[in-house]
């Protein structure tokens, strides 16, 4: 009992969260994205049984086709952690619409009308919208302050070198005029 009480203490709990949260967030994001993609490849490519269990595909320019595109490529974006928040909002909205169009009219609770997955995915994408992609993602690489600071450290010397090169070639720059005069003087002296 003391061990459980110790593990549940706020101090220990926050330490455990600090260690496990980044990895858990990534595993959750990738798992949700891969599960979601399966529904899309069924509709678009007829894989995993297709839309009818026999490998049929949904017409691309239909609601099922549009859902297949969102599920396949939105799921891939979630797996990669690319534009996670806007994609999560879009996919969560898709699942809410899917629930009310396909499942709610059948009445009852989600367990009774087959809408559990739509509700689960809507909640999962809502969670991903709130938390973002996490540490190991393309979003983290592209948009984090830490990454932009590193990029600036790399970019600054390269930019200065580029400016120096341009200044050396610019016939109107004072440095270039002075250099040309020195070269002329050196040639005349020879």
Which H helix or E strand runs over 93?
helix 84-98
Task: Judge contact between 43 and 58, C-beta under 8 A.
Answer: yes
pLDDT in tens, 172-186: 666 666 676 777 777
Report d(CA 151, CA 163) in Å as an integer.
18
CB 53 within 8 A of CB 28: no
Query: What is the pLDDT, as a whole number, of residue 115?
Result: 94
Question: Torsion angle of alpha carbons 5, 10, 16, 18, nearest 10°?
Answer: 180
- Confidence at residue 13, expressed as pLDDT on a 0 to 100 scale: 75
pLDDT given for residue 56 in this prediction: 82
Which residues of the chain have a pLDDT value below 50? none
For residue 65, which of 47, 86, 49, 51 has the smallest C-alpha distance? 51
Greatest C-alpha distance within the chain: 99
pLDDT value of residue 120:
97
Assess contact for 88 and 70: CB atoms under 8 A: no
Q: Which of 141, 123, 136 is nearest to 24 (CA)?
A: 136
Q: Where are the domains of the chain?
A: 2-134, 147-189
28: nearest Cα among 138, 142, 124, 140: 124
Q: What is the pLDDT of residues 121-142, one digit of tens each?
A: 999 999 999 999 988 899 998 8
Predicted TM-score of the model (pTM): 0.70
Q: Is 124 exposed, middle or buried (0-12, 13-18, 19+ CB in 10 A)?
A: buried
Alpha carbons 62 and 38: distance in angstroms, whole number: 18
């Amino acid at each position: 009992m003391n061990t459980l009480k110790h593990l549940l203490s706020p101090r220990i709990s926050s330490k455990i969260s600090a260690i496990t949260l980044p990895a858990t967030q990534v595993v959750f994001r990738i798992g949700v994205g891969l599960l979601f993609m399966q529904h899309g490849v069924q509709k678009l490519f007829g894989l995993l049984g297709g839309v009818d269990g026999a490998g049929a595909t949904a017409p691309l320019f239909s609601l099922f086709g549009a859902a297949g595109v969102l599920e396949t490529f939105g799921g891939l974006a979630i797996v990669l952690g690319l534009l996670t928040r806007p994609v999560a909002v879009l996919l969560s909205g898709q699942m809410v619409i899917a629930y009310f169009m396909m499942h709610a009219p059948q009445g009852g609770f989600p367990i009774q009308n087959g809408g559990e997955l739509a509700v689960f995915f809507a909640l999962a994408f809502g969670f991903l919208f709130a938390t973002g992609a996490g540490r190991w993602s393309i979003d983290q690489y592209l948009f984090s302050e830490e990454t932009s600071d590193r990029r600036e450290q790399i970019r600054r010397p390269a930019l200065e070198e580029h400016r120096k090169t341009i200044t050396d070639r610019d016939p109107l720059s004072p440095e270039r005029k002075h250099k040309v005069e020195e070269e002329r003087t050196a040639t005349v002296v020879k």
